[in-house]
């Protein structure tokens, strides 16, 4: 005889959201005094715990009912952490193991909320807005003293590592951008020296006025070397703002008959 929960097709990649969840309001009394956001966070963590238990029940069956045909069994709980408002918050996560001995199975809700991608994005947004790594915690939303005391991943070193990783990813995506499909009507170039490196930004403007930045890193500040490294585009006109590159004043020209140093900008 098969149980009702075994007749349902279970998607182990999606959280099993229960229809109703009970929240222990007595545990949220302290959070209420700290504001609505702190109350919402406290209630949300209780809801997360209920969803994780529902994930386990969807695979292992109701707790306390023996079933020889089940495909997984409960395997206790362990410490884990989820991402909450730019910080890592500790939680107790349930575990389950496959009955065929293949190993531990993932809990969908925990996998969904334990991702760290948002941490890097928030670190980069706050650093670009002028917030230092030292004051990073001050820029986070208040989630209640109880949660903030247990939170992690807000130290200067942790924020700095995430910022470096996020900017490296953004830089790689920028350098790999395909510009061949762009119909540019203007092209602007400028560079700033950082030690032995020259950070060159080439900004293309299309017919609708949309700006398309492209960035290059060069050890040399020679305009001709930069021009030969630029990708071929459908740019019609160009204006150079060389600054410390080749000449002290901007140069404008028609791309249909560009100077020798910019022969790769084809109309």
Q: Which residue has the higher pLDDT, 183 or 99?
A: 99
Please report the pLDDT score of residue 67 as a whole number: 76
Please report the pLDDT score of residue 152 as a whole number: 93
Three-class SS string for the chain?
A: CCCHHHCCCCCCCCCCCCCCCCCCHHHHHHHHCCCHHHHHHHHHHHHHHHHHHHHHHHHHCCCCCCCCCCCEEEEEEEEEEEEECCEEEEEEEEEEEECCCCCEECCHHHHHHCCCHHHHHHHHHHHHCCCCCCCHHHHCCCCCHHHHHHCECCCHHHHHHHHHHHHHHHHHHHHCCCCCCCCEEEEEEEEEEECCEEEEEEEEEECCCCEEEEEEEECCCCHHHHHHHCCCCCCCEEEECCCCCCCCCCEEEECCCCCHHHCCCCC
Residue 15 clears pLDDT 70, i.e. is over it: yes
Please report the pLDDT score of residue 82 as a whole number: 96
Residue 261 clears pLDDT 50, i.e. is over it: no
Please report the pLDDT score of residue 88 as a whole number: 95
- The pLDDT tens digits for 167-182 are 899 888 877 777 677 7
Comparing 14-18, 26-30, 168-172, which segment has the lowest mean pLDDT? 14-18
Please report the pLDDT score of residue 22 as a whole number: 84
Please report the pLDDT score of residue 197 as a whole number: 76
Please report the pLDDT score of residue 242 as a whole number: 45
- The pLDDT tens digits for 204-226 are 888 888 887 765 544 444 555 55
Please report the pLDDT score of residue 77 as a whole number: 95
**What length is written for the chain?**
267
- The pLDDT tens digits for 36-76 are 888 999 999 999 999 999 999 989 988 877 777 788 999 99
CA atoms within 13 A on the CB side of 85: 19
Please report the pLDDT score of residue 156 as a whole number: 93
Strands 237-240 and 184-194: parallel
Q: What are the φ/ψ torsions at residue 240 (nearest 5 degrees)?
A: -100, 135
pLDDT-based confidence at 90, cuts 50/70/90? very high
Please report the pLDDT score of residue 1 as a whole number: 43
Q: Does the model's pTM come out above 0.95?
A: no
Q: What's the mean pLDDT in 121-138?
A: 91
């Amino acid at each position: 005889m098969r149980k009702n929960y075994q007749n349902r097709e279970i998607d182990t990649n999606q959280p099993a959201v229960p229809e109703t969840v009970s929240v222990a309001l007595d545990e949220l009394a302290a959070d209420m005094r700290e504001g609505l956001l702190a109350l919402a966070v406290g209630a949300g963590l209780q809801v997360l715990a209920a969803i994780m238990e529902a994930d386990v029940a969807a695979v292992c069956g109701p707790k306390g009912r023996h079933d020889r045909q089940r495909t997984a069994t409960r395997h206790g709980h362990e410490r884990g952490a989820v991402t909450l408002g730019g910080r890592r918050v500790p939680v107790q996560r349930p575990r389950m193991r496959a009955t065929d001995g293949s190993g531990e199975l993932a809990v969908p809700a925990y996998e969904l909320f334990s991702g760290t991608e948002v941490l890097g994005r928030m670190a980069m947004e706050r650093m670009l807005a002028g917030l230092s790594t030292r004051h990073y915690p001050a820029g986070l939303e208040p989630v209640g003293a109880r949660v903030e005391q247990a939170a992690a991943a807000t130290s200067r070193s942790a924020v700095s590592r995430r910022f470096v990783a996020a900017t490296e990813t953004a830089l790689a995506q920028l350098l790999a951008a395909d510009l061949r499909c762009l119909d540019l009507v203007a092209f602007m170039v400028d560079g700033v020296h950082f030690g032995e490196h020259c950070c060159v930004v080439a900004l293309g403007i299309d017919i609708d006025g949309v700006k398309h930045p492209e960035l290059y890193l060069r050890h040399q500040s020679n305009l001709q070397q930069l021009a030969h490294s630029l990708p071929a585009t459908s740019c019609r006109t160009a204006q150079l703002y060389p600054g410390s590159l080749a000449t002290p004043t901007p140069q404008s020209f028609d791309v249909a008959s560009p100077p020798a140093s910019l022969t790769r900008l084809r109309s």
